[in-house]
Structure 1
Amino acid sequence: MFPLGRGTLSWPNVPRVNDYVHTPDEVYNVLFHHTVYNKEWMESKFPSNAAYLAILREPFSHLKSSFNYYKLDRLLPFKNRKNPLKEFLRNPAKYPTSGVVGNILVDKTRNAQAFDMGYPLEKAENMESGRDYIQQLDQDFTLILILEYLDHSLVMLKRLMCWETRDILYETQSRNSKTYPYKSYQPTETEREVHRQWSSVDYAMYDYFNQTLWRKIEDQGPGFFEEVEFFRKLNQQVNDFCSRTKTGKDLPTKHIPKSPWSNAFDINHNFCTLLRIDYSSIDSLIRRKQGRPVLKKPCEEQRVPLNPNLYFVLDDRPAFQTLGDVMKYKAKKNTKPLSPTQSDILKKLKNSFLKCKKKQKGMKDHFHAVAGRFKVKIDKLNNIPKDMLDLLNETE
């Protein structure tokens, strides 16, 4: 199943009929895009024997990553820019990090992983409900992997799914890893406890499924750890081999002999290409292979990315579900558009604006209502493409 367009599948909403590419027979067997788990909807779309998989990350590590990814260290009024987490954890409730997207309450600092697993933010302080929901997830999911024990999780997944070792090989060099001042920060016991209370369901969920993973591992016997060690060494060998790949030049085939945990298989240039391919490229590759090109929604139906919506919320603006909502709101309220100091938001939205045909019915007027009220010279905005400049100039 593919979203209609790229990116998430209706996050944080339940997918609507116009949110995904429909197959002729309405049969679906794989979904690997970001979405919020909704049991009722997924069971209505996928076979009864479908395997449900997810991965969890240690909650404090997840908080640090969210702070950096969503630029909370810059958007919120912290004095300590090098380590805003210390300031945040003195009183998390003080900072406006939640808001309504569509009609759903979202917060990227509180129970964010539980939210993606389908647990509503409104029940953040209801631990009895949280524990019941975790038990339900344990029944629904074939396996919930733990990032801090990724190799153990993958070997367990291989065994549960009756896969081959080549099916779980992965690129060891992280694509999205970035350095920021507080990345390696370890919280004090007090800070850890504050965060545990703030994201109590996330911690309960992580602890439960971490323990569940290790119980499953114990049931596998001592041979499991031998396979993990074998897998680690093999995965590194494959990564070392694939790192020699150069564009346009094929590598000689590398033969991997049979072992107690794997049948023999070969590694070649094509395998290395697939090993290193990114999420967006694999999405396009599968679409082309199945004859399903990327379909684009009408501009007014394109969903607003999470980052801009979070910025709207932090700036005391309403959050929006679609780009059309953004423009219609501004036209109706006659409000000023985003200022040049918020050009990062503009950059995220401008590409979607440009996808609209200039003469699309109703869209040009909405665009003018937004773009025509900039109180600055256009040349002061960074990285504005010519097509957008032309539209902006038409409004002057």
Structure 2
Amino acid sequence: MACLITGRCLTKAMVNRHLCVFVGLLLIVIVYLKTWSNIFPFPLEYATQNLRRYRTSRLTSHPSLTGEAHHHIAYLKVHKTGSSTAQTLFMRYGMDRNLTFVVANNKSWFPNIISLNDTVISGYNIIPPPHGHHYDILCFHVVYNRSAFEGIMPKDTKYIGIVREPFLQFQSTLRYFNPETVFGDGRNLSTYLKSPKLFENPKEISFTNNRMAYEFGFPAPLFQFYDSLKVEQYLEKLGKEFDFVIINEYMEESIVVLRRILNWNVKDVLFITKNISSKKPTIDDADLNERKLYHRYAKLDYALYDFFLERFWQQIYIYGQDILKEISYFKSLRRTVEHFCITTPGKGLDVESSPWSAPFRITFEDCRRMLGPEFWYYTQIMRRQYH
């Protein structure tokens, strides 16, 4: 028998039983943590595992840290990726500097959407810039096509995109649209994921068939027949064409990198989160089998996300320790500003100087613009550019 300090003794059978329970609980915890990390890769672990590979990876040039601020931006606003948060930065920046936006020639539906299934087409789905001006910023919904974008944007345009973990993007789509339009009457998510293509109408615009890849302009045949070589080739093409792609799960980190690439001030990139669902994703929100089924279906979206997630950590690594300090500073400052704007914006908030910024002041007007919805910005842009 084995005796405890208390003097109570355990038989060998009891010891073995307790040991089995302990080992079982330990295994459950290990499996849980492993599963969670597969769904949401932790930054430090992910970066550490890949730093050695990053030394010789695709991105070899050091992002710009000096020079003039970049005013010409083409932002690919991808549906249900948290894209409105970043879009507000570009609209606010452009309005403050009287820049010219690409806007939709569209009066039959949402006027802030250029196209759900096509790229920009001069003389068709976009309004020409005012006389004597050229476009400076593109940030409304449209499908990416490099040659079409280059046809309307200045040569020194910075190309920015955004992606989100595919299953979370899919869940967000389902919360936004009526599920019956996706599944049909009497069907559920599991039924849909077992044979998704049975529920896709080829004559209608799909928001569930690798939608992120669609808006990034992936070749149409890849949606029917996945070809890993052609997918890799197209991703390499995107990697050369986009200066930066924001990762939704690391929004604040992404915005700090974006600030450095664009040479903007810290005040320019402060934001208040937009269109956030009150239901936060957890490990219990989706059956792991459903994730597995969706991963099998959304191969293009997962390839796209993994490619730019890797590239994102590479860019963080290139900047070194200094950017980690700025990220910590920015997170703290952003939360302070968000709280201030929501609670007491009328008083004004003075922000002291930092290694990354001169001192500045947040006013009521600054808060109003950070909180402004997309349609408010669209109305202001149209009034200023064309009236």
Q: TM-score range by the shorter chain?
A: 0.5 to 0.7
1:234 is aligned, of 330, 333, 353, to: 333
* 1:145 correspondence with 2:145: no
Q: How does 1:50-129 map to 2 (within 5 A)?
A: 50-73=157-180, 76-77=183-184, 79=186, 84-94=188-198, 96-101=199-204, 106-124=205-223, 125-129=226-230
Question: In 1, are the aligned partners of 2:348 and 2:363 still within 8 Å (CA)?
Answer: yes
Give distance in 2, aligned partners of 1:169 and 1:235.
Answer: 6
- CA-CA distance at 1:74 after TM superposition: 5.5
* Residue identity in the other structure for 2:300: V
- CA-CA distance at 1:10 after TM superposition: 2.5
Give distance in 1, aligned partners of 2:281 and 2:152.
Answer: 43
Question: In 2, are the aligned partners of 1:97 and 1:108 still within 8 Å (CA)?
Answer: no
SS at match of 2:343: coil
Question: In 2, are the aligned partners of 1:67 and 1:73 still within 8 Å (CA)?
Answer: no
- The residue aligned with 1:276 is 371
User: Across the two proteins, how many residue pairs are aligned to each other?
Assistant: 278
- The residue aligned with 1:257 is 352
Question: In 2, are the aligned partners of 1:56 and 1:146 still within 8 Å (CA)?
Answer: yes
Question: In 2, are the aligned partners of 1:14 and 1:36 still within 8 Å (CA)?
Answer: yes
- The root-mean-square deviation of aligned C-alpha atoms, in Å, is 2.3
Q: How does 1:1-396 map to 2 (within 5 A)?
A: 1-5=102-106, 6-16=111-121, 17-23=123-129, 24-25=131-132, 27-73=134-180, 76-77=183-184, 79=186, 84-94=188-198, 96-101=199-204, 106-124=205-223, 125-172=226-273, 174-175=274-275, 177=277, 179=279, 185-188=285-288, 190-245=289-344, 251-290=346-385, 292-293=386-387
- The residue aligned with 1:308 is none
Give distance in 1, aligned partners of 2:180 and 2:154.
Answer: 43
Question: In 2, are the aligned partners of 1:64 and 1:182 still within 8 Å (CA)?
Answer: no
* Residue identity in the other structure for 1:263: A
Q: Deviations over 1:250-304 (max 9, x none)?
A: 71222111001211111111111111001111111122233x14xxxxxxxxxxx
Deviates more, 1:5-14 or 1:57-66: 5-14
Q: For the structure 1 residues 112 and 213, does the alpha-carbon distance in structure 2 shift closer, same or farther, using more than 3 Å as the test?
A: same
SS at match of 2:167: helix
Q: For the structure 1 residues 176 and 62, does the alpha-carbon distance in structure 2 shift closer, same or farther, using more than 3 Å as the test?
A: same
Give distance in 1, aligned partners of 2:384 and 2:103.
Answer: 13
Question: In 2, are the aligned partners of 1:37 and 1:118 still within 8 Å (CA)?
Answer: yes
Q: For the structure 1 residues 153 and 211, does the alpha-carbon distance in structure 2 shift closer, same or farther, using more than 3 Å as the test?
A: same
Question: In 2, are the aligned partners of 1:51 and 1:142 still within 8 Å (CA)?
Answer: yes
SS at match of 1:164: coil
Q: Deviations over 1:12-41 (max 9, x none)?
A: 123331322212246211111000001111
* Residue identity in the other structure for 1:21: I
- CA-CA distance at 1:87 after TM superposition: 2.6
Give distance in 1, aligned partners of 2:166 and 2:141.
Answer: 19
Q: Deviations over 1:184-209 (max 9, x none)?
A: 62331x43332222111110110010
Give distance in 1, aligned partners of 2:348 and 2:184.
Answer: 55
- The residue aligned with 2:96 is none
Structure 1: 5+ residue stretches without partners? 294-396
- CA-CA distance at 1:182 after TM superposition: 10
Question: In 1, are the aligned partners of 2:183 and 2:189 still within 8 Å (CA)?
Answer: no
Q: For the structure 1 residues 75 and 132, does the alpha-carbon distance in structure 2 shift closer, same or farther, using more than 3 Å as the test?
A: closer
SS at match of 2:246: strand
* Residue identity in the other structure for 1:91: S
Give distance in 2, aligned partners of 1:69 and 1:183.
Answer: 21
- The residue aligned with 2:57 is none
The two structures have a TM-score, normalised by structure 2, of 0.67
Give distance in 2, aligned partners of 1:159 and 1:107.
Answer: 35
Question: In 2, are the aligned partners of 1:111 and 1:121 still within 8 Å (CA)?
Answer: no
Question: In 2, are the aligned partners of 1:254 and 1:267 still within 8 Å (CA)?
Answer: yes
Structure 2: 5+ residue stretches without partners? 1-101
* Residue identity in the other structure for 1:177: S
Question: In 2, are the aligned partners of 1:68 and 1:180 still within 8 Å (CA)?
Answer: no
Q: For the structure 1 residues 4 and 93, does the alpha-carbon distance in structure 2 shift closer, same or farther, using more than 3 Å as the test?
A: closer
- CA-CA distance at 1:110 after TM superposition: 1.9
Give distance in 2, aligned partners of 1:74 and 1:98.
Answer: 11
* Residue identity in the other structure for 2:347: P
- CA-CA distance at 1:79 after TM superposition: 4.2
Q: For the structure 1 residues 242 and 51, does the alpha-carbon distance in structure 2 shift closer, same or farther, using more than 3 Å as the test?
A: same
Question: In 2, are the aligned partners of 1:127 and 1:200 still within 8 Å (CA)?
Answer: no
Give distance in 2, aligned partners of 1:74 and 1:11.
Answer: 17
Question: In 2, are the aligned partners of 1:55 and 1:147 still within 8 Å (CA)?
Answer: yes
Give distance in 1, aligned partners of 2:383 and 2:319.
Answer: 40
Question: In 2, are the aligned partners of 1:53 and 1:143 still within 8 Å (CA)?
Answer: yes
Q: For the structure 1 residues 22 and 212, does the alpha-carbon distance in structure 2 shift closer, same or farther, using more than 3 Å as the test?
A: same
Give distance in 2, aligned partners of 1:14 and 1:74.
Answer: 25
Question: In 2, are the aligned partners of 1:107 and 1:121 still within 8 Å (CA)?
Answer: no
* Residue identity in the other structure for 1:61: L
Q: For the structure 1 residues 77 and 175, does the alpha-carbon distance in structure 2 shift closer, same or farther, using more than 3 Å as the test?
A: closer
SS at match of 2:202: strand
